[in-house]
Amino acid sequence: MLVLSRKLGEKIYIGENICITVVDIDRGKIRLGIEAPRDIAIYRQELLPLHQQKSESQPNLPSAS
C-alpha cells in the first residue's frame, strides 16, 4: 500500500486518466473529488457488489487435495 499526504487542493494521479483531488478537510473528514473515464466503476467500500465483499473478506485458504 502506498500512503501519501496531501493538502487541500492537491492531486494524486493514477495512470494517465484518473485524478483524485482533496476538495475539503473539515473536522477529521476529508472529501475527495475523483475524475475518471465513465467506463471505470467507482464504489465506496460499503457499496461494493456483495460477491466482491465476500471474496475480499475471506482469506486465501489452501485447497485440500
Determine the length of the chain.
Answer: 65
- The mean per-residue pLDDT over the stretch 18-35 comes to 97
pLDDT of 62 reads 58
Is residue 25, in this structure, part of any structural domain at all?
Answer: yes
Domain that holds residue 43: 11-57
Phi, psi for 54 (deg, rounded to 5): -65, -45
Confidence bin at 11 (pLDDT 50/70/90): very high
pLDDT of 1 reads 95
Q: Is the pTM of this model over 0.75?
A: no
Q: Does position 37 have pLDDT exceeding 90, yes or no?
A: yes
Is residue 62, in this structure, part of any structural domain at all?
Answer: no
Is residue 44, in this structure, part of any structural domain at all?
Answer: yes
- The mean per-residue pLDDT over the stretch 4-17 comes to 96
Our count of domains for the chain comes to 1
Q: Mapped to the 3 state alphabet, what secondary structure does the chain carry?
A: CCCCCCCCCCEEEECCCEEEEEEEEECCEEEEEEECCCCCCCCCHHHCCHHHHHHHHCCCCCCCC
Is residue 34, in this structure, part of any structural domain at all?
Answer: yes
Candidates 17, 53, 52; CA nearest to 34 is 17
pLDDT of 61 reads 56
